[in-house]
């Protein structure tokens, strides 16, 4: 069992027994560790204690983030910075498929793909010569399903497996947000103009911040388009890099996520923890 597996199992256990609020010893026993080992696990993985990490997962903390979201996002738009983290649209550049690529579904493109590791479990990575074109949380058993998804988008491209390169790309992706010296990463996406507008809007949510579907819709077109924006968010082909996990419900609940609700909560907690450590 990896560090992430134990973290996710602990979060699932706490969510299932929320009303009873199990103590640290009970949670540690559930994941097969002593309380001191669980403490070290959270410190190693997230940089903070279990208590601090769990505070970042509360609805109260999420509502506080939402209360501050307008000023945080305004500052990010104005300065291009997000305090100790990096604003996502400054380290991720979007390359949209050309009209010819869009119509031909990638005819003539060579796409490499493979699996790698991340702080949140195994990932499937695919890339063209212009950037990452797919990133999803998937184990070895899911590779064929991910390849089918890749072919639905880039149906006429040539696919080539390269797990070594995929692992290197994954390592860069998940270290870049907190590395001020990391160069920009490029994503190569095929989508409608509306989808591209939504995905670019997601990039403007700073690390450690969140927004709601309604607020995201206001930034793209109109609050009345929240449902259409939600569909575009759900069709995001590049998780984490295009941070759809930072969109939550107006109530402060994290809501659903293609990679699993528990993983979304772990991602939000991990980002909040990393930001907290850098602020200290």
Q: What is the pLDDT of residues 232-270, one digit of tens each?
A: 999 999 999 999 999 999 999 999 999 999 999 999 999
Residues 177, 88: Cα–Cα separation, whole Å: 7
Highest CATH level, class, for 3-55: mainly alpha
Q: Which residues pair with 166 in a beta bridge?
A: none
Q: Give mean pLDDT, residues 115-125.
A: 96
Distance CA 275, CA 181 (A): 17
More confident residue, 86 or 120: 120
pLDDT at 219 > cutoff 80? yes
What is d(CA 87, CA 73) in angstroms, rounded to the nearest whole number? 10
Cβ-count burial 74-107 (b if 16+ within 10 Å, e if not): ebbeeeeebbbbbbbbebbebebbeeebeebbbe
Confidence at residue 278, expressed as pLDDT on a 0 to 100 scale: 84
Topology of the domain covering 84-251: Arc Repressor Mutant, subunit A (1.10.10)
pTM for this prediction: 0.89
Tell how far CA 201 is from the center of its chain.
14
Q: How far apart, in whole angstroms, are the C-alpha atoms of residue 219 and residue 223?
A: 8
Which residues share a beta bridge with 188? 95
Give the active site residues: 244
Query: In which band, very low, low, confident or very high, does the pLDDT at 175 lie, cut at 50, 70 and 90?
Result: confident
User: Within 13 Å and on the Cβ side, how many CA atoms surround 122?
Assistant: 12
Q: What is the mean pLDDT of residues 121-126?
A: 96
Domain ranges (residues) in the chain: 3-55, 84-251
């Amino acid at each position: 069992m990896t560090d992430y597996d134990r973290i996710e199992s602990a979060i699932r256990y706490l969510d299932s027994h929320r009303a009873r609020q199990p103590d640290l010893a009970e949670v540690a026993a559930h994941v097969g560790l002593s309380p001191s080992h669980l403490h070290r696990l959270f410190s190693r993985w997230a940089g903070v204690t279990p208590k601090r990490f769990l505070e970042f997962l509360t609805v109260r903390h999420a509502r506080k983030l939402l209360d501050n979201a307008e000023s945080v996002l305004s500052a990010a738009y104005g300065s291009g910075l997000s305090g100790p983290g990096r604003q996502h649209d400054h380290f991720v550049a979007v390359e949209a498929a050309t009209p010819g690529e869009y119509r031909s579904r990638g005819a003539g493109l060579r796409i490499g793909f493979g699996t790698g590791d991340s702080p949140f479990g195994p990932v499937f990575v695919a890339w063209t010569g212009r950037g990452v074109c797919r990133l999803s949380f998937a184990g070895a058993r899911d590779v064929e399903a991910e390849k089918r998804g890749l072919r639905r988008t880039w149906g006429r491209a040539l696919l080539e497996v390269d797990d070594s390169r995929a692992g290197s790309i994954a390592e860069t992706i998940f270290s870049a947000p907190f590395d001020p010296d990391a160069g920009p990463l490029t994503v190569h996406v095929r989508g409608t103009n509306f989808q591209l507008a939504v995905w670019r809007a997601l990039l403007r949510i700073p690390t450690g911040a969140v927004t709601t579907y309604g607020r995201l819709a206001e930034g793209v077109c109109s609050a009345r388009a929240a449902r259409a924006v939600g569909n575009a968010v759900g069709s995001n082909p590049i998780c984490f890099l295009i941070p759809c996990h930072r969109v939550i419900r107006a109530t402060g609940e994290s809501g659903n996520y293609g990679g699993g609700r528990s993983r979304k909560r772990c991602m939000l907690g991990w980002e909040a923890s990393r930001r907290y450590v850098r602020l200290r």
